[in-house]
Structure 1
């Protein structure tokens, strides 16, 4: 680079060191650094701009020409020098090394460094055709933005990368951008994905991948179309062994089964993904396998399975991002919440490695506050989650409605719960998961308000779908409450009995409240032996509530038990 011989170069270095400008940096021998950044900057500014650019270009080319295997260790340095050499003319290598170095940083979870590398390269190419067609560089900028902030922050960059890939007729670029697009929460991504399917050639690997990503993305809103799209992946896999397509296809199938409420199938698919032996991408296989199988275990009531998948997912999740760490933690937290193990629940939610502002983790804390009768804490938690963050997860908006409905029903007086609004939570059409979730909330809300019409509507919808546990209560419990409001006490007792059988698997919080609700239905029915059975249930509910610190249930069960004893005493002949 300098044009000096080794002997001349060493003489110059010795002179610079003698003057106090540079010093040896230690191991390995032969490396020097400026003694201070101010010294470095002063020397740097004395070099003419064009000469500086040439030095940078020479440095980049020298580093890139290192023996096989070593350039990857210097990618960030090579990218830096190529970006700084743009004064000599825009070079494709600025984009190439910028994208590679940014990708390397993102894979190491160094998203700030990835953003800086990609931004420097993009600025060096600003206003040129080189930037407009280098989708890889722009896509890496998008990936860095997603890693640093919310997924929504990456949208402008993803769209720009998509346009660049489309302009370059790059099917691989379309696939990469489609994957980035389907990780975002916005519904306005659908036009881009429709464009993607038109660009890629039908029957090809890019078409299979793009369709599989698209299917997983719209499974919630349009399951019929998602089913058709996933067929592209299935047909490709029938004649090709392709790990990347297989993972994308299996994830799409898991999403479809989740939104159909088919939790036993979801467990089967998640476990199959984990056991598939697919070599790449391993992170996607393990994280999605554990997440889907764990979610299926929630719906099926296997708390041990929920907890196991949460803990096994936790280590690989920590290595990916705080978002994925939070998804592992919420499985562990749900198991603790359902058992009423508040010590474990509070401990896992306050560990530092996951995002403390995650809307789902906030939602679980809201449910815990409702269960414990902590109304002020409930409102504080609801107010603490910005609407912007809630929009990042479609399940998150359900938690405040569910928590308030639970709190209102537990208190026996809706007016004491601030922000309580009667009604069901609406979700996408043709979606069993959202129907059951929304109308489970609706049934609890109707029970709190004694709204017979709303209770009948929620019962009708719930009866048309598979019954499952809805993260806070089983849908059989909701149906039983709705039946009781409508005066259908025999049906209510049967439904609450089925819910109680489910809760016996370790769902102590739901089981305690279900025992109280079943006792209340028996008291209302008032047939022979109902009072005796109601008394047993109330004593059971009171004992569990006292142990778990469910203050409202302790108060309500004591009051109901006292009324029942007085009623029995009045009905008992004096002689007896």
Structure 2
């Protein structure tokens, strides 16, 4: 009745026997191997097999079971009145089995709260579900209590990484809150429905933005922390909009609101939301500052989730400006926090960034292990982030390994399923060009190139998409698109191409060198390639260094100026050695044929 394992003192109080008399009885049971002691826990025993316990339990009448469960509650309450915490789940079980559903509800809720605080997310979710079942049996008409329990259940499920199930709980809570006119509960449901990561796009979820807007519309102005959280999440959800004007305004308002209120928890959410909302080539310095402040605020108030995000915002900015050592230090710190937090959403972000860095630096075997690892924890926790990252990291890996054709279905699906992210269409154009499907590549490039390539929003993915288009243009020998792309990319020559965690693609100067070569602007191409060589080497981006050496050599062999052949030979030898070292054999073959 107490379960497969039981404590001596609980059975003694329940049975009315002294511990000595009870030990005599247990000794007989141990002699016949019905029960055994628990070696690591003095004073605890267990049935030798669960079937023995189940058989004995099923032999009791229903009335007898109810009485014994009630006695168990009394015994546990008497024994642990000063420290019930570790026994709350047990008390909930016996209360409900003893048909005391009100008490079972209270104990299950408290047990769920305790499990959540101990980072036992799945156990917390189970206990909140138990509390909901008890509520249905005790006071099924208590919708405010049901709403509160659903919010707690959604929180536990989301932190466990089960966002599809969590979203259902939050939607149910939102429905109750709307019907009962509970503005704060509606806002909490909206924030929970938005997930653990502020930067997540709405994508195909048509409920997210309206729910966040409804939460903001009804929430009291003085509830600063929750308002800041909703503003931040709404700004992130709007990242699919081509213009950043709306999310810029929302995220700015959130930061100003939090600063005026002097609320550090609100400020942490607001900083996170703003960094996610405005990230682009022209905001690198601001995003680095936002990430630094977020990291400091989050560490000061003990907000581990926001601390991870602070490090991640710093990482992308540092990669963009070439501070790889700084990015690696932040990534190591973020990894430590995420491992302690044990939440799939943060783990997938950190492991995805680690996979991105491994691929970019040529540690392909390590990347091959990290890519599916990040996807495995992120697929349910944040599919809108994890699925594209997985597909594009695999594309990089397959491209480096010489089998890009294996990724055609996946890249085509990404381009179709994420229409608001045209960078994926850029990857598809590049894939067609790499496979020699030149008519398909030309059509894709032309579709993207209208109105000065305005189809690509100027955001975090802009440089990433443009880098693929630069290579596609060169593979197609399309001087017209090369000229337009060169003009667009030139202001950002000092940056590196990073879309976290889809990929790092090296110095922008390499792509300018490729485009200048297509335009036969030889001196500019040479300057860009020299800059790209220096930057990619200093950052340790070995695949991109080898690509730069190869591209530069081909430019020199085309130009055929004084000393060009000798310099080209040096570059080709260096590229060949590096490709072979990295296991990029198909590229090594290409160099050998140059």
Shorter-chain TM-score range = 0.7 to 0.9
Does structure 1 conserve the Cα–Cα contact (< 8 Å) formed by 2:161 and 2:343?
no
Tell me if 1:364 matches 2:374.
no
Superposition map of 1:429-468 within 5 A: 430-463=457-490, 467-468=495-496
Please, which of 195, 209, 214 is the counterpart of residue 234 of structure 2?
214
Please, which of 469, 472, 478 is the counterpart of residue 511 of structure 2?
478
Tell me if 1:312 matches 2:333.
yes
1:33–1:481 distance in 2 versus 1, CA, 3 Å? same
Please, which of 138, 144, 166 is the counterpart of residue 150 of structure 2?
138
1:163–1:41 distance in 2 versus 1, CA, 3 Å? same
Tell me if 1:192 matches 2:211.
yes
Give 3-state SS (helix, strand or coil) of 2:142's partner.
helix
Distance 2:37 2:235 in 1: 54
1:356–1:137 distance in 2 versus 1, CA, 3 Å? closer
Range with greater deviation from structure 2 (14-23 or 245-254): 14-23
Please, which of 531, 536, 545 is the counterpart of residue 511 of structure 1?
545
CA-CA distance at 1:10 after TM superposition: 1.2
1:110–1:275 distance in 2 versus 1, CA, 3 Å? closer
1:102–1:382 distance in 2 versus 1, CA, 3 Å? farther
Distance 1:332 1:498 in 2: 26
1:124–1:54 distance in 2 versus 1, CA, 3 Å? farther
Superposition map of 1:109-508 within 5 A: 109-126=119-136, 128-131=140-143, 133-147=145-159, 150-167=162-179, 169-170=181-182, 172-183=184-195, 186=202, 187-188=205-206, 189-205=208-224, 206-219=226-239, 221=241, 223-259=244-280, 262-276=283-297, 278-319=299-340, 320-342=342-364, 344-346=366-368, 355=377, 359=387, 360=389, 363-373=392-402, 375=403, 378-380=404-406, 402=427, 405=430, 409=434, 414-415=436-437, 422-423=444-445, 430-463=457-490, 467-470=495-498, 471-505=504-538, 506-508=540-542
Give 3-state SS (helix, strand or coil) of 2:173's partner.
helix
Give 3-state SS (helix, strand or coil) of 1:469's partner.
strand
Range with greater deviation from structure 2 (442-451 or 41-50): 41-50
Range with greater deviation from structure 2 (193-202 or 511-520): 511-520
CA-CA distance at 1:244 after TM superposition: 1.9
Superposition map of 1:517-556 within 5 A: 517-556=551-590
Does structure 1 conserve the Cα–Cα contact (< 8 Å) formed by 2:122 and 2:160?
yes
Does structure 1 conserve the Cα–Cα contact (< 8 Å) formed by 2:423 and 2:456?
no
Listed as ranges, the gaps of 5+ residues in structure 2 are 1-10, 380-385, 499-503
Give 3-state SS (helix, strand or coil) of 2:221's partner.
coil
Tell me if 1:9 matches 2:16.
yes
TM-score, normalised on structure 2?
0.75
Alpha-carbon RMSD = 4.6
1:95–1:171 distance in 2 versus 1, CA, 3 Å? farther
Query: How many aligned positions are there?
Result: 547
Does structure 1 conserve the Cα–Cα contact (< 8 Å) formed by 2:316 and 2:327?
yes
CA displacement, residues 418-472 of structure 1 (integer Å, 9 cap, x when unaligned): 9999445999975422222222222222322334454455445445768432312
TM-score, normalised on structure 1?
0.77
User: Which residue in the other structure is 2:501 paired with?
Assistant: none
CA displacement, residues 514-550 of structure 1 (integer Å, 9 cap, x when unaligned): 2222232344344555445444433433343343333
Distance 1:335 1:109 in 2: 29
